[in-house]
Amino acid sequence: MSQEKLAKLRAQIGAIDDGYQVQFAGHPRITRDPTLLDRMATDVGRAIEALGALPASPDRDALLNDARSRLDLYRNEAVAVRDAQAGGQDALEAHYLGEWSRFVFHRYRRHFAGQSRATRDLGVLAEMIADLRRIKAEAEALKKRRGDPGLGDTIERVDRNLQLYLDERGEIVSSRGEGTLEQQADVLAAVANDQFALYARHFAGKSRLSRRPALLQRIIDNLDVIKDRMIVVRDGGLGDGSHTKNIEIVESRATFYRGELDAIRKVRREASMPDLVGALGTAANELFAEYQEHFAGKDRRTRDVARLTQLCDALEEIGRQMDEIDRARPDETNAANLHIVLDTLRLYVREYDAVREAQTQNA
């Protein structure tokens, strides 16, 4: 009987720690709920009392020592979480400004670092530049209000990366004009195909209500720039029939996307706030399911980095929309969903780095 009780208590303590790993390990303390730690400590304390009533044995004593260590961990972590949250709403806002800036930095690593400049997405880079400028302005305003030295670090990192992105934009533009007309045409065709793939990933077959209009507008703007550059190449002397056909395809797709953009905007205008929040939550759940199917518990050396990049991008899109709602019109359900999305995005970003490292070492 005592062995059965021991096995049951071991399972209970393991389940409590599983909850700790999911809810707290690797997450910023300022965003955590200390009352969950209080409950974990209480539950482990009860398990310790039950273990103390069992006959002494090596297995019982080992589990008892482990349970006491976990109890200390949960209690100490609850104190640390409350200390982190002592700065109130301003400290939390400072944290999120830093976190969103780090998401932007990681996005740069996924899409630009070490990759061919000529094929990079100028629209993505422009959006990242705009994001960092907004974060910097809000961080400077908050720093002026509360004088947090941590914000100074955020502003410094944002400034440094902002200059990098501005310089990179100039280099990308210059690279598009290099090479023969045929080579330039090939690059433009590849860049256009990337935009078509972006549409397929983020819009085709997806609920219009959960799609971000600004993303589709960015795709359209990119295609307009690509088409103009294709025309310059054509008028410069490239009479290749396939290039002329590519111009027609780009123009046709852009026209179709404009119609889709109008439809998305109409759906969003007519939707209620609960409907919008629900659609974004459903879209996030679909991404969670995709991650579970293709990445959770799998050998990192064999994972598709491109697919993980797409997952990070897609979840960031959902988080961005949830954050926009939270800023404009706070909603309790949306705020809870945003918390989950940011926790999960943090996980995906870490997993991306781990997969890249595993595959680099394996190579």
pLDDT higher than threshold 90 for residue 270: yes
3-state secondary structure of 5: helix
Please provide the average confidence, as pLDDT, over all residues in the chain.
95
Percent of the chain with pLDDT over 70: 99
Residue 55 forms part of a structural domain: yes
Comparing 146 with 37, the larger pLDDT belongs to 37
What pLDDT, on a 0 to 100 scale, did the predictor assign at position 149?
A: 67
pLDDT band at 353, cuts 50/70/90?
Answer: very high
In this prediction, residues 323-345 reach a mean pLDDT of 95
Residue 245 forms part of a structural domain: no
Percent of the chain with pLDDT over 90: 90
Residue 307, burial from CB neighbour count under 10 angstroms (0-12, 13-18, 19+):
middle
In this prediction, residues 54-71 reach a mean pLDDT of 94
What pLDDT, on a 0 to 100 scale, did the predictor assign at position 150?
A: 73
pLDDT digits (tens, 9 = 90+) for 16-31: 999 999 999 989 999 9
The string of DSSP codes covering 260-281 is HHHHHHHHHHHS-HHHHHHHHH
Which range of residues forms the domain containing residue 18? 2-84
Radius of gyration of the chain from its Cα atoms, rounded to whole angstroms: 25
In this prediction, residues 112-138 reach a mean pLDDT of 95
Let me know: does 287 contact 256? Beta carbons within 8 Å.
no
In this prediction, residues 99-119 reach a mean pLDDT of 95
Residue 56 forms part of a structural domain: yes
Residue 69 forms part of a structural domain: yes
pLDDT higher than threshold 90 for residue 210: yes
pLDDT higher than threshold 70 for residue 1: no
Residue 48 forms part of a structural domain: yes
pLDDT digits (tens, 9 = 90+) for 128-166: 999 999 999 999 999 988 877 678 899 999 999 999 999
Contacts of 290 (CB under 8 A, 6+ apart): 311
3-state secondary structure of 26: coil
Residue 135 forms part of a structural domain: no
Structurally, how many domains does the chain consist of?
1
Residue 54 forms part of a structural domain: yes
Residue 234 forms part of a structural domain: no
What pLDDT, on a 0 to 100 scale, did the predictor assign at position 335?
A: 96
What pLDDT, on a 0 to 100 scale, did the predictor assign at position 121?
A: 96
What pLDDT, on a 0 to 100 scale, did the predictor assign at position 334?
A: 97
What pLDDT, on a 0 to 100 scale, did the predictor assign at position 151?
A: 85
